[in-house]
Amino acid sequence: MNKSNAALRFLAVVALVLTAGCSGETDGLQISDARVGAPTGPNAAMYFTARGSDEADSLRSASTDVANEVQIHETVTSDEGTMSMPSIPRLELPAGGQLVLEPGGYHLMLVDVDQLEVGDTISVTLTWEVAGEMTVEAEVVDPSDTMGEE
Amino acid sequence: MFRRSGVVVLVAALTLAACQSAVSTGALQGVAIENPTEKGSFVLTDTEGESYDFAARTEGKLTLLYFGYLQCPDICPVHLAQIAEVLGEDAELARKTEVVFVSVDPDRDTPEAIREFLDRFDTAFVGLTGSHDQLKTAQEAAGVPPARILGEGDDYTVDHAGWVIAYAPDGLSYSIYPFGTRQSQWNNDLQLLAKLVGEQGS
């Protein structure tokens, strides 16, 4: 092995260690873009993106002080174009993959939700099979702003 | 049988128009209807408890018709908020437009609750309700598959048409707006559809 190869290897190891160090603090499941459409009726929908760790996980339940109950729903479009939102027992997050909750797909339905205004922030506790409980902050946005970027 | 007719209507609706009709609708970004359909005729009850003749009351206006329900947190508010955003920025356009929301959940959605719901978007939005039979008739007249109740008890959800039907001021529908329509597409199309007033001389 010549010197430059050894140096490269050393740098590669350093890079790996550094990367590991970075992710060490934020390792595991991460939530981003948590948002709730300002309620217009008794219920509101919450959306977020979860990025998984090396281990697959699944969202089992959720709760918040601002709603009586939180249900996991999937909006389903039929062949006819009709839409319904059956409640489903869990959401799967593949290992190293992501789980996207967005309008027209999955959402958490906050049942009998308190009056929330655009700009408010609410805390929602997500219970994962592996990662356990984690509390996330979700911003209340106008329903037209719940969809992702164009 | 109704479901089958719904399929036919939707298949027709979702078939992208290969050529432009006499009216200049080529720039519309909604899902074009190959053979523009006429505005259906039905009578329901508005949130003031008054009879509302849909075809008569919306004549000559750009009309947006949507069947939904109040406990729907995911798609219904998005459609209505998107439309409200366009109209909120253009009083002239709003004046020429009638937005009609029909609740297909008459057992839970009272006229008062419908009014309160719509007022969160725009106090000018019209809210309608009726008996199950009247609502079925209205949905058939509009060419959408009748909504169905899914589940039991108080916790049921409603399977309903997910798209908004737009009728130009000439009373024809050239395009529909399925869920997933972007704000920019609404901005574009409502302006275009309202301008069909001039071209049609109505």
Mean predicted lDDT score pLDDT of chain B? 87
Q: Measured between beta carbons, which residues in chain B are less than 8 angstroms from residue A110?
A: 73
C-alpha B104/C-alpha A112 separation (Å) is 20
Q: Check if B126 contacts A (Cβ < 8 Å).
A: no
Helix B183-200 crosses helix B76-88 at what angle (to 10 degrees)?
A: 60
Residue-level pLDDT, tens digit, chain A, 150 residues: 455 555 555 555 444 444 443 433 346 899 999 999 999 989 999 999 999 888 999 999 999 999 999 999 999 999 888 999 989 999 999 999 999 999 999 999 999 999 999 999 999 999 999 999 999 999 999 998 998 766
- The reply to whether residue B162 touches residue A77, judged by beta carbons under 8 angstroms, is yes
Identify whether A23 is part of a domain.
Answer: no
Chain B residue with Cα closest to A109? B73
CATH of the domain at A36: 2.60.40.1890
CATH number at residue B150: 3.40.30.10
Examine residue A14 and state whether it is found in any structural domain, yes or no: no
State the Cα–Cα distance between residues B75 and A47, nearest whole angstrom.
12
| Cα dihedral value B13, B19, B24, B27, nearest 10 | 70
pLDDT at A81: 86
Show the tokens assigned to B49: 């408890």
Contact A82 B81 (CB under 8 A): no
Contact B166, B191 (CB under 8 A): no
For residues B142 and B133, is the Cβ–Cβ distance under 8 A?
A: no
Residues of B with CB below 8 A from A107's CB?
A: 73-74
State the first-to-last Cα distance of chain B, in angstroms, to the nearest integer. 37
Calpha distance B106→B177 (Å, rounded):
24
Coil, helix or strand for B77? helix
Work out whether the CA dihedral A89, A94, A96, A98 comes out positive or negative: negative
pLDDT value for B155: 80
pLDDT 10s digits, B114-135: 999 999 999 999 999 999 999 9
B70 touches chain A (CB under 8 A): yes
Single pTM value for the model? 0.81
- Retrieve residue A63's tokens: 């709760």
Is some CB atom of chain A closer than 8 A to the CB atom of B67?
A: no
Q: Which residues have CB under 8 Å from B72's CB, separation 6+? A: A41, A43, A85, B157, B158, B160
ipTM computed for the complex: 0.75
Q: Give the amino acid at A69.
A: E
Mutation to test the A interface, candidates B66, B70, B74, most A Cβ within 10 Å? B74
- Helix (H) / strand (E) element for A51: namely strand A44-51
Q: What is the number of structural domains in chain B?
A: 1
CB contact (8 A) between residue B78 and residue A86: no
What pLDDT was estimated at residue B64?
Answer: 98
Closest CA to B97 of B200, B2, B189, B201: B189
The count of domains in chain A is: 1
CA-based nearest residue in chain B for residue A105: B74
Is residue A75 one of the residues assigned to a domain?
A: yes
Q: What is the pLDDT of residue A26?
A: 44
Q: Which domain holds residue B68?
A: 2-200
Is residue B33 a contact partner of residue B135, using CB atoms and an 8 Å limit? no
How far apart, in whole angstroms, are the C-alpha atoms of residue A8 and residue A5? 5
List chain B residues with CB under 8 Å of A150: 182-184
Q: What pLDDT does residue A28 have? A: 83
Inspect the interface and report whether the beta carbons of B78 and A109 lie closer than 8 Å.
no
Domain that residue A131 falls in: 28-145
